[in-house]
Amino acid sequence: MKIGVLGSGVVGQAIASALIEKGHSVMLGSRTARNEKTDLWVKENGARALQGRFADAAAYGELLFVALKGEHALDVIRGLDAAQTEGKTIVDITNPLDFSKGMPPQILEGLGNSTSLGEQVQALLPGSRVVKTLNTVNYKLMVNPVAVNGGDHNLFLCGDDADAKMQVKKLLADNFGWKPDLLIDLGSIQSARAIEAIVPFWVLIYRSLNSPLFNFKIVH
């Protein structure tokens, strides 16, 4: 499958490399058509690794991941042509974090109470099918859940389109090894408010454990 990854940071690169290992072709998108970081990534990941601007990656992928710096994410999304994302499933990993006031981070002003990044991405690209997930785990765990507790822990997802959520669940299971019965569907994209809001709590646990390799496990 052709996949576009908007975001060339550690998250975008981890997702893109893992997908290439599974046989997909991936375009990693950034602000510039190429740069030192993406040149190196392409060199290290072989013939199925491509690079381009955010809009190139959006147009290239049959399915898209969004892993952008939270404070700039909506500007990047606004810059896309809606036709580039029409009918596509978009996996949104972005967190609306504001680190400017110290640790733990706050949720960016205006996001979190009556809306969320996930909802805003969906609203800006109404023809797409946004699924919020993976934002509550460290990037290493996203593509290798077995690294913690043998993979026995939970991942949350939400989105308005049932078929897109099924597609993403299968993608997470087939490519990254997430156990399907441990993926918890929290309903419509509005639930992104809660899924994004637990990230400052995640940061507190990270500071306390002094390791990013942990996750939530819901027992009942």
Closer residue to ligand NAP (CB): 96 or 162: 96
Tokens of 13: 């690169």
154 makes contact with ligand NAP (CB under 6 A): no
65 makes contact with ligand NAP (CB under 6 A): no
Whole-angstrom Cα Rg for the chain: 16
Give least dist CB 26 to ligand NAP, A.
Answer: 14
68 makes contact with ligand NAP (CB under 6 A): yes
Give me the helices (H) in the chain, please.
10-21, 36-45, 54-60, 70-78, 117-124, 139-142, 162-171, 192-197, 199-209
Q: What's the CA angle centered on 74, arms 86 and 162, to 5 degrees?
A: 45
Decide: helix, strand or coil at residue 131.
Answer: strand
Give least dist CB 7 to ligand NAP, A.
Answer: 4
Residue from the set 17, 45, 51, 94 that interacts with ligand NAP by CB under 6 A? 94
97 makes contact with ligand NAP (CB under 6 A): yes
Q: What's the CA gap between 134 and 149, in Å, rounded?
A: 17
Residue from the set 19, 26, 27, 30 that interacts with ligand NAP by CB under 6 A? 30
Beta sheet of 2-6, edge-to-edge order: 49-53, 25-30, 2-6, 63-66, 89-92, 129-133, 155-159, 183-185
Closer residue to ligand NAP (CB): 4 or 12: 12
Closer residue to ligand NAP (CB): 89 or 138: 138
Q: What's the CA gap between 187 and 132, in Å, rounded?
A: 10
Give least dist CB 68 to ligand NAP, A.
Answer: 4
133 makes contact with ligand NAP (CB under 6 A): no
Binding footprint of ligand NAP on the chain (CB under 6 A): 7-12, 30-32, 67-70, 72, 76, 93-95, 97, 135, 138-139
